[in-house]
Amino acid sequence: MLILLAFIIIFHITSAAFLFIATIDSAWWVGDDFYMDLWRHCVNQTNCTVIDERFPEYQAIQAMQATMILATIFCCVAFFTFILQLFRLKQGERFVLTSGIQLLSCLCVMIAASIYTDRHEQLHAGEFYDFDVASGQFGYSFILAWMAFAFTLVSGVMYLILRKRK
């Protein structure tokens, strides 16, 4: 049982790490001499511009920012809820509250990554950019966001079916 518990804790911490990296790091859309994320875009590693209302599809970017932050917060809250329930629940009870919070995190990261997947052409279009954004590709933070979706979904389901045993 201790091995299963250690696996679940490591799995959950990995999910949270994926969410933190995907939310903070600047690699959602990368090219030869630029990179873009949910917060800014940078050219030549030095010339960075914060994303604000001047950018095309700013409302979509704000929605992605908000849902990624919520996903990260929910994942951390689910971990602390799991630790509290681990010592408070009676044997045989399920971690339903932890599962619900983790599945909310899963939903939030799915919404953010789905918006970015759907709108990435509109997000990177227009005469605003002085470089060829179309030559870029999805970066590792975007991939980590989708991996975090899968990890939070699996851990949410694991918590739902997990019973506290001796």
| Residue 19, φ and ψ in degrees, nearest 5 | -65, -45
pLDDT of residue 22: 92
The predicted model gives 124-144 an average pLDDT of: 72
The answer on pLDDT for 47 being more than 90 is: no
The predicted model gives 84-102 an average pLDDT of: 84
The answer on pLDDT for 72 being more than 80 is: yes
Alpha-carbon gap, residue 136 to 138, rounded angstroms: 7
Nearest to 86 by CA among 72, 71, 76, 97: 97
Predicted TM-score (pTM) of this structure: 0.86
Alpha-carbon gap, residue 105 to 149, rounded angstroms: 8
pLDDT of residue 123: 65
